[in-house]
Structure 1
Amino acid sequence: MTCLRPRINRVFLLTLLGLIGLIIPSFAQKDNNNNYLDSSKNWSLHYQFTTIVQGHTGFKGAGYSGRNTLSDLPDTTLSVTTTLFIGRKLWKGGSLFLNPEIAGGRGVGRRDPTNPYDETLYNPAVGIAGFPNGETFRIGSSKPGLYVARFYVEQVFALPGAKPENIDSEANKVKQQRPDSRVVITAGKFSIADIFDNNAYSHDPRTQFMNWSLMSYGAWDYPANTRGYTWGLAVEYVRPAYELRVAYNLMPKTANGNVLDWNIAQSGGLTMELESRYHLLKKPGTVRFLAFRNVTKAPTYTDAIQKLMDGSNDPQRPYISNGERYGGVKYGFGLSLEQPIAQNSGLFARASWNDGKTATWAFTEIDQSVSAGAFIAGSRWGRPEDAIGVAGVMNGLSSGHAAFLNAGGTGFMLGDGKLPNYRPEQILEVFYKTRLTHTLFITADYQLVGNPGYNGDRGPVNLFGVRTHVEF
C-alpha cells in the first residue's frame, strides 16, 4: 500500500489539473469566435490538457534482452501534459509567447526480468523506434514536473504587395491581421516542430496520430532536449504560393539530454525547408522538402563498435550516450505531401532519410522512414468534429547502426543485447476521435508494431490506448 501511495497522489494531482481545465471555460469570458480568456485584443490565453492511457498485451519475446528491451509482459501506462499558452502583442508585427507546462507519467518500456513488478527498476519509453505515445518523454521519473516549454518572440514584416488576412486567437497566436506575404522571425525557446513540417493531417499527437514516426519525419533527428524543446532562431519567407524557412537551434550536450549545448561554434542543428502549393483534381495540395545538418559530440557507429570490441566502453554508461569530442555530423532529407479530398479530410505521405553514420542524438533511432495515411472528418456520418485516422509506417536503420546494436551496443531507445535478425520496423495506427463537448475530445487508438526495435525475433505488439484532450 505504501508503494502505491505516491502513484495515487500523482494521478490525483494530474486528474485535478484536467478537471480545472474543464471547469474554467464555464466561467471564462468568451468572444464571438469562442476564444476564451481573451481579456483584451492584445492578449491571448489558452489551455490544453492531455492524458493517454496506453498498454500492450503480452507478446512473443526473443529469448534474450538488453537494457532497452520492451517488456513482453502485459503492461499499462499513463501520461499527462497540461499547458498554458500565454501570448501578448508587443507592437506592430511583434508578439511574445510563454508556455508553462506540467508533464508526468511514462510510456511503455522495459521491466527488469528478475523483478518485473518493481516500479523503481522500470525503464520507460524504450524498445520501439517509432514509439507509440507522442506525449511521453525519455526520462526516468514519472513524477509530474513543471517547466517552461516555450518562451519566444515573433516578429512579422510585411513584404511589398502583401494583402491582410485575419488571424483568430489560438494557442500561441494573438488575434490580429497578418500580411499574406511576409518574413517571420522567431527567436527564443520553442519546438522546432512548431515551424517545420506542419502537415495538416499528421502532426499533433494530442489531436491526431500518436506514434512518433507520424508526428514528423521519422529520420529527422530534430534539435531538442528530452522534452522536445530547444533555443534557437528561425526565419520564414512566406508567399501565397510557396514558403521557405531556415532555423539554427541548440542540440543537447548528451544523447537524449535535457541540458542544451550553448557552444554554438561547435554544436547545433541547421534546418531548411521549402514548401510549395499545387492543385490536383481542383483540390489544393502541399509538398514540403526538408534538409538538415546537425553537429554534436555524437560518435560514429564505427567508433562505438570499436569501443565495445576493445572493452573500453563502460557497460553502466554506454558510450553512445556521451560523446568525447565535437565533430559528429548527421545530415538528412525529408519529403512530405498532403492532399485534401474533402473539408477537413485528406491524404498524406512522408519519406525521410539520414546518413546513419553518427549516433542518434535527439529524437529517435530511425535512419529511414516512409509513411502514408488518411485523416477523415466525421462530416460524412453527421459528426463533423469527429475524425478517423489510418496510417502505416516502415522504419529502418543504416547498416552501421544495425551492426552497433548487434554488437551489444545501446542507444537511448534501443538495445536488445544483440540484433541477429534485423528487420524493418512496421507500424499500423488506427484511431477514432470524438468531440463530447466544446472543449473535450476522447480518442480510441490501436497500434500494431511488427519487429519492435527492428528485431525480427520479437513481436508483433498490439497496443491499445485512450486519449483525453481538453483545449480552449
Structure 2
Amino acid sequence: MTKKIISITLLLIGNTVTAQETQPASSESKWSNHFQLTVIAQRHSAFRSLYSGVNSLADTIEPTATSLTTTLFLGRKLWKGAAFYFNPEVSGGSGLSLSTGVAGALNGETYRVAEVKPQVSVARAYLKQHIPLSGTNYSYAADDVNQVAEKLPTSRITISAGKFAIADFYDNNSYSRDPRTQFFNWSIWADGAWDYPANTRGYTYGIVAELIKPTWAVRLSSVAVPRIANFHLMEYNAEAHSETFELERQYTFRKTHGTIRITASQTFSQAPSYEAGLKAINNGNKFLLDVIQGLEEHKSYGGRKYAVGLNVEQELTNDVGLFIRSGWNDGKYVTWAFTEIDHTCNLGFSVKGTKWRRAEDVFGIAGVINGISGPHRKFLKAGGYGFIIGDGNLNYGKEAIIETYYNARLNNFFWATFDYQFVNHPAYNKDRGPVHVFGIRGHVAF
C-alpha cells in the first residue's frame, strides 16, 4: 500500500511539473496546475500528571508522531467568469496521542483520524462563478493555487458550490492561516471557538456567496455538517446545516495596511447538550456518551451552536505584521466538528528575514488562551469525554499556549521549519502539564 501511495505521489509531481513547463504563462491559459507536499514530525517532553483519561495527552515521551499530506491543485476555465477546481489529496500519519489531549491541538496538518496509513481522497471539487457588477474595473489575478489566471472584476459577486473547506473562505489572515507554512497550532491559525462544519479531514459540501468590493467584502454560506461527531460522512437533512456570515473591511492606518473581519455562525446538528451529557453520566446512559465521543449516531436533532469571531491583521512595517483573533460560542451543545474550545483569544507577530538577508524566511511568535463554558467544565469534571479532550477528571484552568517557529526557504520549491510550543494546563487541567512540544516541517510547493 505504501509503495502504491509513493508511486501515485511521484506521478502527481511529474504530471504537475510537466504541465507547468508546457503551460504558457498568460491569462489565456485555460488550466492551472499546482502541487504541495508537507511532512511534520513532533515530539513532546514528559510532564507532571496526577491522572490520565481516555483522551489525555501521554505524560511520558511518545515516539515521534509524523504526518503527511500531498495535494494536486487542478483548475480549469469554463465559460466567462467560471472555473472548476479539483484537488485529489493523499494524507496519512497522526498527531501526538492521536491528536487528543490538548484543545488547541498541536499539528494543523492532522485531524482526528486513527488510520495511520496514507489514504487517497478528493479534498475539493467545486465550481466558482464570478458575476461582474455594473461599472466595475478589472484587475489581473495570476495563476495560483485554486486560481486560474484571469481578469477579475474588482466589484463582483462570486458563487462557489461543491466540496471545499469552509475555512478556505472565512477567517483568513495573512500572518496566521496555513499550517503548511505558518503556525502549527489549531487555535493560533484558526478561531478555535468556531466549530466550523467539516468532515474528519476538514471538508464539507455547500455553497458560498461573496459580495466583493475593492476595500470590503461580505460572505454568506450554507453547508453540510457531520452525521456523527468527528465523522467522515456528512448529514443531508433539512434539520442539520450550518450558516456563516462574514464582514471584511480593509483599511490604511499611517500608511500601513490592515484588515478586520467579523464572523458569525449558526450550526444545527444531532449534537446533544452538555447538560444532557452530565445526566447521561449520572444515569449510566452509555449510548449518549458514545454519541458525544463520536462513536454513535444520535438520530435526534435539536443541537444548535451560535458563535462570533473577530480577526485582525495589521502591517507594522514592510517586514513585520501583527494579528489578533478572538472567538466565542455559547458552549451549551457539544463540539461536533473542530475542537473543544468555547472561547479563545490569540495575539502574534510575523517577521520576514530581510534584516538578516533572508527575505524569504519568516519568524513567527504567538500566544493563545483557550477556555470552555460552565456546562462543558461540569461534564469533563464528572468524567465525560469529547473526541478531543477528557482526562477523567478536571481541575479547571485556562489552557495557555505559546508557539514560535522559523520557516526557511531553501530553494524555489522547498521550505524547512523548526517549531516549538509550550502548553500550560493542557485540556484545561491544572493537574497536568506544562508540556514542551518540538516539531520540524518540510514543505514542497510549486
Q: Which residue of 2 aligns with 1:306?
A: 279
What TM-score results when the alignment is normalised by the length of structure 1? 0.90
**Structure 1 residues 207-226: aligned runs within 5 Å:** 207-226=181-200
Q: Please point out which of 73, 79, 83 is paired with 1:95.
A: 83
What is the distance in 1 between the residues matched to 2:239 and 2:18?
Answer: 51
| Regions of 4+ moved over 6 Å | 12-26
The CA deviation string for residues 125-179 of structure 1, in whole angstroms up to 9 with x for no partner, is 1000000100001011101100000000000011112111111111100001101
Q: 1:22 to 1:379 in 2, by over 3 A?
A: farther
SS of 1:437's equivalent?
Answer: coil
**Structure 1 residues 22-41: aligned runs within 5 Å:** 29-30=20-21, 41=29
Q: Which residue of 1 aligns with 2:318?
A: 343
Using the aligned pairs only, state the percent identity: 44
Using the TM superposition, name which of 142-151 and 21-30 deviates more. 21-30
Q: 1:315 to 1:163 in 2, by over 3 A?
A: closer
Does residue 1:376 correspond to 2:351, yes or no? yes
Q: Structure 1 residue 343: deviation in Å?
A: 2.9
Contact 1:68-1:413 at 8 Å conserved across structures: yes
Q: Structure 1 residue 60: deviation in Å?
A: 1.1
SS of 1:78's equivalent?
Answer: strand
Contact 1:44-1:172 at 8 Å conserved across structures: yes
Q: Please point out which of 8, 23, 35 is paired with 1:47.
A: 35
Does residue 1:57 correspond to 2:45, yes or no? yes
Q: Please point out which of 257, 268, 292 is paired with 2:241.
A: 268
What letter matches 1:279 in structure 2? Answer: T
What letter matches 1:309 in structure 2? Answer: N
**Structure 1 residues 59-458: aligned runs within 5 Å:** 59-62=47-50, 64-75=51-62, 76-109=64-97, 124-263=98-237, 265-314=238-287, 317=290, 319-321=292-294, 322-343=297-318, 345-419=320-394, 421-458=395-432
What letter matches 1:278 in structure 2? Answer: Y
Q: CA RMSD in A?
A: 2.1
What is the distance in 2 between the residues matched to 1:85 and 1:399?
Answer: 43
Aligned residues: 443
The CA deviation string for residues 324-377 of structure 1, in whole angstroms up to 9 with x for no partner, is 410111001000100012335310001100000000000000000000101111
Q: Structure 1 residue 389: deviation in Å?
A: 0.4
Q: 1:319 to 1:361 in 2, by over 3 A?
A: closer
What is the distance in 2 between the residues matched to 1:197 and 1:27?
Answer: 34
SS of 2:360's equivalent?
Answer: coil
Contact 1:222-1:363 at 8 Å conserved across structures: yes
What is the distance in 2 between the residues matched to 1:144 and 1:173?
Answer: 27
What is the distance in 1 between the residues matched to 2:380 and 2:330?
Answer: 17
Q: Which runs of 5+ in 1 are unaligned?
A: 1-8, 110-123
Q: Structure 1 residue 314: deviation in Å?
A: 4.3
Contact 1:318-1:410 at 8 Å conserved across structures: no
SS of 1:213's equivalent?
Answer: helix
SS of 1:410's equivalent?
Answer: coil
The CA deviation string for residues 217-241 of structure 1, in whole angstroms up to 9 with x for no partner, is 1100001001000000000001112
Q: 1:327 to 1:165 in 2, by over 3 A?
A: same
Q: 1:80 to 1:192 in 2, by over 3 A?
A: same
What is the distance in 2 between the residues matched to 1:381 and 1:19?
Answer: 35
The CA deviation string for residues 422-464 of structure 1, in whole angstroms up to 9 with x for no partner, is 0110000000000111000000000011100111110111111
What is the distance in 1 between the residues matched to 2:198 and 2:288?
Answer: 26
Q: Structure 1 residue 281: deviation in Å?
A: 1.7
What letter matches 1:102 in structure 2? Answer: V
SS of 1:189's equivalent?
Answer: strand
Q: 1:59 to 1:416 in 2, by over 3 A?
A: same
What is the distance in 1 between the residues matched to 2:434 and 2:345?
Answer: 19
What is the distance in 1 between the residues matched to 2:256 and 2:276?
Answer: 50
What TM-score results when the alignment is normalised by the length of structure 2? 0.95
What is the distance in 1 between the residues matched to 2:292 and 2:405?
Answer: 38
Q: Which residue of 2 aligns with 1:121?
A: none
